[in-house]
Structure 1
Amino acid sequence: MLLWSYWQTVCTSTGPVPKKFKLSDETVERFRKANNEEEKLQAIENYANNLPIITRTYIAGRATYRYCFICNHLKPDRCHHCRICGVCVLKMDHHCPWVNNCISYTNYKYFILFLFYAFVFCSYIVITTLPYFLEIWKHSSSGHGSIHVLFLFIIAVMFFLSIMSIFSYHLYLIGYNRTTLEAFRAPVFENGRVDKNGFNLGLVNNFKQIFGNHCLLWPFPIFSSLGNGITFPRSREISDRKTLLDECDNSDEDTNDAFYV
């Protein structure tokens, strides 16, 4: 299971950004001929209005759509450009040098299972070698094979501690439905509000976003994550705020400002 999960994590493609997010030739021409930053942003926003994008970034002092100037397309929600891979990655968590791949929407479940089975494996090695380690330490034995036991125990403990810390951190992220990048920089939504819990659906639903609804598939590195990697359900808090903003009177500026605080 450990090797299977590792293989899936390494070899699974991060998935391409759909072609509909690539700017049309007309929009690119308007973008290039723009005289200032405001006209460039307006050209992008006009094209992006028909796309399912709810996250934004701050450019020129206001919230606008995220655009990748390297890949030349608009970024879907939770998508980021990886400088190492050279492409935009759907729901990018981070680039992991240990697997030489980006951890993203397509292989995040495999990565979590890899950490879990590696943690179980290291725990097993530590527990089974501990009696021999204590015996060698107690009697200062240097008999045949003792150096191998000491080496195995020390290496297993080192990997156990490192994997436990990484695995615990990612369990924390799953609990709040965040990526590593979102933990360091909270997403900005269409109303200009920065919210680190914008995709938090509750512990159970957050877990199902990664592992799916079929519990029999949870232990296996077989893709069962929910969604399409492009759009993601928002938390009830964000959705309720958006509904309230739509319903409130636009002429009442004090009321509108209250919802943005």
Structure 2
Amino acid sequence: MRYHLFFWVLSFLLWYILFSASFCAHIFPYGTVALIIQLIFFQIIWILAICSLFSTTLITPAEIPKRFMPPKDIFEKRNFVKEIVKWANEVNLPVHCVTMSTEGGDIKCPPFCLYCKVIKPNRTHHCRRCNRCIIRMDHHCPIIGRCIHMHNHKFFLLFLFWAAVLCGYAVYVTLPALFQRTSIVIWNFSGMISAVIPGYVQRAPPSIDRLVSTCLVASGALNALICGISLSIFLGQLMHSLLRNETTLESTTFQFCGDNNDQHITDNISYDLGSVWKNFCSIFGYNPLLWLLPIQTTYGNGLFFNEDALKKKVNR
């Protein structure tokens, strides 16, 4: 995780230096006042993206309460599934059960993790990359090396949003100036043109410094365009799931327990709160002034949810 964060911060610093040193110092075609305004807007968006990134990577998942941890010797017994069911009924755990096929027939069993030796709360999944069970796990993001979960979901969405806005803003600001500076490239190759076209006269001397700056800014603008489009598409997919109060894992898989060859019936749980507004506010909170700021507004502990259970048979 640390080296992921290091490379992301390094990338943002390079983008900032490229924008301020190459574009603003050498290519920006407008006045000083416009330059200051552009830099202020760029810095605000840049800071919001960086803060969202730090919040995403530094906020760790909540620990699973001890009430979900059965005695470890249960997992060592031959019929440990029945023992888990018996123990879960005694302590009355608030989890949805799945129907699992065993040697003695089908049995209702709460989802459990053989690695962490815990009963998994609703919407909890084990992440093999992080080597732990994650409460309300959305997905493991290999790009930042972190799991997206209950308490950093908002910050991850904000990171994608502000990074996409930063890319779009950079493209919007630099493109007009790049069009004006394309003449530098033309002048630089004017010697070759005069050799092909008789009578061609070079009207302006080539500027190597501005040529290098123009090429750097052009490559940065192309990179920003590609990254902005990719981030926007990814953000749109995650927002589509959020507005249904559904995680990425819930939209693609079903929670199960046991081996991959077991056949069982599981509950396809819908955690839709009844409206897009409520689903959105479950992560971003009810204060619109804080929606776009990297400030914790998610309510709940990730253990209890309002749900509408719809049973569906799934073959594994």
TM over 0.5: yes
Whether 1:133 aligns to 2:178 is yes
The change in CA–CA distance for 1:89 and 1:193 in structure 2 (over 3 A counts) is closer
Counterpart pick for 1:32 among 61, 76, 86? 76
The change in CA–CA distance for 1:46 and 1:119 in structure 2 (over 3 A counts) is same
2:304 counterpart residue number: 231
TM-score by length of 1: 0.79
Identity fraction in percent: 31
Q: SS of the counterpart of 1:228?
A: coil
What code does the residue aligned with 1:51 have?
A: L
1:205 counterpart residue number: 278
Q: C-alpha displacement at 1:100, in angstroms? A: 2.0
Q: C-alpha displacement at 1:97, in angstroms? A: 2.3
1:4 counterpart residue number: 51
Gaps of 5+ in 2: 1-47, 189-206, 257-264
Q: SS of the counterpart of 1:180?
A: coil
2-side partners of 1:9 and 1:70: how far apart? 25
Residues 173 and 179, structure 1, Cα contact 8 Å, conserved in 2: yes
What code does the residue aligned with 1:146 have?
A: T
1:107 counterpart residue number: 152
What code does the residue aligned with 1:33 have?
A: K
Residues 96 and 267, structure 2, Cα contact 8 Å, conserved in 1: no
2-side partners of 1:203 and 1:16: how far apart? 29
The change in CA–CA distance for 1:4 and 1:57 in structure 2 (over 3 A counts) is farther
Higher Cα radius of gyration? 2
Q: How many residues align?
A: 230
1-side partners of 2:112 and 2:81: how far apart? 10
Whether 1:160 aligns to 2:232 is no
Q: C-alpha displacement at 1:55, in angstroms? A: 5.2
Q: C-alpha displacement at 1:59, in angstroms? A: 4.8
Whether 1:80 aligns to 2:125 is yes
The change in CA–CA distance for 1:194 and 1:23 in structure 2 (over 3 A counts) is closer
1:254 counterpart residue number: none
Whether 1:53 aligns to 2:95 is yes
2-side partners of 1:171 and 1:260: how far apart? 25
2-side partners of 1:81 and 1:14: how far apart? 12
Q: SS of the counterpart of 1:77?
A: coil
Once the two structures are overlaid, the 10-residue window that deviates more, 112-121 or 39-48, is 39-48
Tell me how large the CA RMSD over aligned residues is.
2.5
Q: C-alpha displacement at 1:58, in angstroms? A: 4.3
TM-score by length of 2: 0.66
Which string of whole-angstrom CA distances, capped at 9 and with x for unpartnered residues, describes residues 136-192 of structure 1? 55885455122122111111111111111111111111111111111111457xxx5
2-side partners of 1:186 and 1:138: how far apart? 58
Residues 141 and 148, structure 2, Cα contact 8 Å, conserved in 1: yes
What code does the residue aligned with 1:47 have?
A: W
